[in-house]
Amino acid sequence: MMEEEILQLLRDHPSTFLSGEEMSRRLKVSRTAIWKRIRHLRSLGYQIEASTRSGYRLIHSPDLLTPSEVKPLLKTKWMGKVIHYFNSLDSTNSKAYDLATHGAEEGEVVIAESQLKGRGRLGRKWFSPPYLTLNLSVILRPSIFPQQASLITLMAAVATAEAIEKCSGLQPLIKWPNDILLKDRKVAGLLNEIQSETDRIHFVILGIGVNLNIDERMFPKEIRSIATSLKRERGEAVLRKEFLRYLLEELERWYKVLLEEGGDAVLTAWRKRSQIKGKSVRVTSFGETLTGIAVDVDSSGSLILKTENGERKRVVAGDVEYTNKAPISKQ
Ligand code: BTN
C-alpha cells in the first residue's frame, strides 16, 4: 500500500525531485522505510532517479497491471473501480468467487500477473505466464434469470473482441461458444461461473484470459499451432494496461446494452463476429459427436445444429470444429 502512495507522490511531481524527508513526513514513516520501498519499486521495473541533494524522481513506469498503473487510465463509471491485484494466484476465477461469496460488489475485478492453475473450459488448463497475458475475473450481480446466464458470456465475448479491435486494429472473430480468434488461432478465452438459486443469480464470475505479448515459441507444444497472441498478429507488443482499460470500458458498455436493450442487441453483435451460420461443423458435446450445419445461436446461447439426417438439435455446451470453412447454404 505504501508503495502505491510513494508512486502517487512521485507522479504528482512529474518534473521535480521530491525529497526523502518530504515523503517521510507526508507518509508518516522513516526515510529508511521510504528508501526500502523505492528499492523494491526499482526491482519491479520502475526507474526512479535518486539525487542525494534533491530526492527522488519517477522516470519510467513498467507495464504492470497494478491499481496505481491502471486507475489513472480508466474511464469507466463502475467497472474495475476496485481492483484486487496479485502477482500470482492459482486462478483469478477462484479468488473472485471467494470474494463474491464474502460480499464483494458488482464491478470489482481480480487481476493476477500469472496463474499457477489457470482454468479453461471443460476442465482444461489455461496458460498464463507472468507479465505477458491478461488474467481477469469480473464480479457481476445481474438481475436476470439463471437460464439467461449464457447471455453474459456472449456479451463478454463481444466486449473482448471489440477491445482487441480498438487496441490493435485487428478484427477478431468469435467461435462458438466463446473462443476469440485471430486468423483462425485462439487469442482469448472466457470461463464464466455462476452461483445461483433456481430463479435468482447470486453472482457471475466473468473470467477472461487474453494472450497479449506471448511469443509463438513460448506456447506449450500442444497448443502452439492453434494459439496466438496480439503481439504475434500485429508484430509488436501491446501495452497491457491500455488493453485492460479498453476491455473494462467495453465490458461496462456491453453489460449496459444487455440489461437495458436485452439479449437481442448482444446477439446481433455476436452473430456479426461469429460467422458460424451456414458452416459445416463437428460438435463434441458431453462425449457425443454431432455433425451438421450450424443454423444459428439462440437467445440462450445454445448452438442450433441441422444434423445430416435433417434433425434440428440444440447444443448447450461443447467444442466446435469447422469441417468446411465456406458457408454451405442459407438456413
Ligand atoms: C477457455 O477458453 O477455455 C477459457 C479460458 C479462460 C481463462 C481465464 S484467465 C482468467 C480466469 N481465471 C481462470 O482460471 N480462467 C479464466
- When pLDDT is cut at 50, 70 and 90, the band that residue 327 belongs to is very low
Ligand 1 centroid–CA 136 distance in Å is 8
Neighbouring residues of 216: CB distance < 8 A, sequence distance ≥ 6: 224, 228, 229, 232
Model pLDDT, residue 277: 85
92 lines ligand 1 (CB under 6 A): yes
156 lines ligand 1 (CB under 6 A): no
118 lines ligand 1 (CB under 6 A): yes
- When pLDDT is cut at 50, 70 and 90, the band that residue 294 belongs to is very high
CA 288, 289, 292, 298 torsion-angle sign: positive
Give residue-wise pLDDT tens across range 197-206.
999 999 999 9
Ligand 1 centroid–CA 210 distance in Å is 9
- pTM > 0.85: yes
- Higher pLDDT among residues 2 and 267, named by residue: 267
Which ligand 1 atom is at minimum distance from the Cα of 189? 2
Which ligand 1 atom is at minimum distance from the Cα of 128? 9
- CB neighbours of residue 7 within 10 Å: 19
Lateral strand order in the sheet of 280-285: 312-315, 303-307, 288-297, 280-285, 319-324
Q: Which residues of 61-166 form beta strands (DSSP E)? A: 83-89, 109-115, 133-140
Which ligand 1 atom is at minimum distance from the Cα of 115? 14
190 lines ligand 1 (CB under 6 A): yes
Q: Are 158 and 269 in contact (CB under 8 A)?
A: yes
Ligand 1 centroid–CA 92 distance in Å is 8
90 lines ligand 1 (CB under 6 A): no
Q: Are 278 and 328 in contact (CB under 8 A)?
A: yes
191 lines ligand 1 (CB under 6 A): yes
CA 254, 260, 263, 266 torsion-angle sign: negative
Which ligand 1 atom is at minimum distance from the Cα of 117? 14
Ligand 1 centroid–CA 91 distance in Å is 8
- When pLDDT is cut at 50, 70 and 90, the band that residue 287 belongs to is confident
Give residue-wise pLDDT tens across range 87-130.
999 999 999 999 999 999 999 999 999 999 999 998 899 999 99
Give residue-wise pLDDT tens across range 144-173.
999 889 899 999 999 999 999 999 999 999
Among protein residues, the one with the nearest Cα to ligand 1's atom 2 is 189
Ligand 1 centroid–CA 208 distance in Å is 5
Among protein residues, the one with the nearest Cα to ligand 1's atom 15 is 119
For a ligand 1 pocket test, name from 126, 134, 174, 211 the mutation site with the most ligand atoms within 8 angstroms of its C-beta: 126
**Average per-residue pLDDT for the chain:** 93
- When pLDDT is cut at 50, 70 and 90, the band that residue 317 belongs to is confident
Sort 119 into a burial class: Cβ within 10 Å, 0-12 / 13-18 / 19+: buried
Sort 188 into a burial class: Cβ within 10 Å, 0-12 / 13-18 / 19+: buried
Lateral strand order in the sheet of 201-211: 83-89, 109-115, 133-140, 201-211, 185-196, 179-182, 173-175
Give residue-wise pLDDT tens across range 202-251.
999 999 999 999 999 999 999 999 999 999 999 999 999 999 999 999 99
177 lines ligand 1 (CB under 6 A): no
For a ligand 1 pocket test, name from 191, 192, 320 the mutation site with the most ligand atoms within 8 angstroms of its C-beta: 191
